[in-house]
Amino acid sequence: MTLLSTTPRPLIAGNWKMNGLSTALDEARAIAAGLDRRPAAARVAIFPPATLLHRLGEAVEGSFVLVGGQDCHGAASGAHTGDISAQMVADAGGTMVIVGHSERRTDHGETCQQVAGKAQAALAAGLEPIICVGESLEQRQAGEAVSFVIGQLRNSLPDSLAGQAFDVAYEPLWAIGTGHVASVENIVEMHAAIRTELVARFGEQGRATPILYGGSVKPENAREILAAPEVGGALVGGASLKAKDFLAIVEAA
Ligand code: 13P
């Protein structure tokens, strides 16, 4: 198997969630400045709240930092108060968008079908979607983690992803914001199952699709996680809010 030539650089993605006022742009500038000192071995992206997307894009312009949205609606426009479309994310300077994050699925009752629609809308707007999946603690304890996540993946990925750039993020719910990072064994098992499903569904393309791990990734554990088989990057929450920590994770890639 000649994976080397097709394996993309790891993606280190910082999901700021509902954090960040204007002053946080300084952290983004510090991240951009930190990357400018050497060629980045990884792709680096920041996903600020929608209110900062445009300004953050301007703040890091000309650097290695990519910017993206944390969510988008499945429709291109319309009467959906409070939502933003994929086209709006692109118009604000984003090139990527996270869809199906567990906090969206939990807080807003998003279904896999809706997530697939969002991923499709992202592609239509020229964005690279990061599609998130992950099991709850109850599902893991019941021994259903892999079957649940693979089912979620199957239903959250639209067929239109074939031939398009996209990423998958595995984020076990019990590891998000808890400091309880999944064991490398758990990560390796799940990423291997996700890889098998991606290859079954998308053939050769599925071999190269980056599979990110997310859930309490910190400078202290990033190296071990990122070195694990089939881990193609990290989706980082809390530790992406401080340039120093985020850059240390990028350094570990
Ligand atoms: P934490 O890194 O804060 O656990 O968040 C992970 C996450 O949900 C990123 O999308």
The span from the CA of 72 to the CA of 126, in Å, is 13
Quick one: which of 225, 193, 198 has its CA closest to 209? 198
Strand pairing partners for 66?
A: 45
CA–centroid distance, residue 175 to ligand 1 (Å): 8
Q: What is the pLDDT of residue 7?
A: 74
Say which amino acid occupies 204: E
pTM, 2 dp: 0.96
> Ligand 1: which of 176, 181, 220, 221 to mutate, judged by most atoms within 8 Å of the beta carbon?
176
Report pLDDT digits (tens) over 61-91.
999 999 999 999 999 999 999 999 999 999 9
> Ligand 1: which of 181, 216, 242 to mutate, judged by most atoms within 8 Å of the beta carbon?
216
| pLDDT over 90 at 41, yes or no | no
| pLDDT over 90 at 213, yes or no | yes
User: Which residue, judged by its Cα, is nearest atom 1 of ligand 1?
Assistant: 237
| Mean pLDDT taken over the chain | 95
| pLDDT over 90 at 6, yes or no | no
Report pLDDT digits (tens) over 160-212.
999 999 999 999 999 999 989 999 999 999 999 999 999 999 999 999 999 99
The answer to whether residue 101 is catalytic is: yes
Q: Which domains does the chain have, with CATH numbers?
A: 11-252 (3.20.20.70)
Taking CA atoms, 73 is separated from 18, 48, 82, 155, 170, in Å, by: 17, 17, 10, 17, 21
| pLDDT over 50 at 113, yes or no | yes
Sign of the alpha-carbon dihedral angle for 12, 16, 22, 26: negative
Which amino acids bring their CB within 6 angstroms of ligand 1?
A: 15, 101, 171, 176-177, 214-217, 235-239
CA–centroid distance, residue 221 to ligand 1 (Å): 14
The answer to whether residue 128 is catalytic is: no
Could you list the residues known to form a binding site for substrate, using ranges.
Answer: 15-17, 177, 216, 237-238
Contacts 24+ apart (CB under 8 A), 243-248: 243/27, 243/28, 243/30, 243/31, 243/34, 244/30, 245/218, 245/219, 246/12, 246/14, 246/27, 246/31, 247/30, 247/31, 247/34, 247/35, 248/219, 248/222
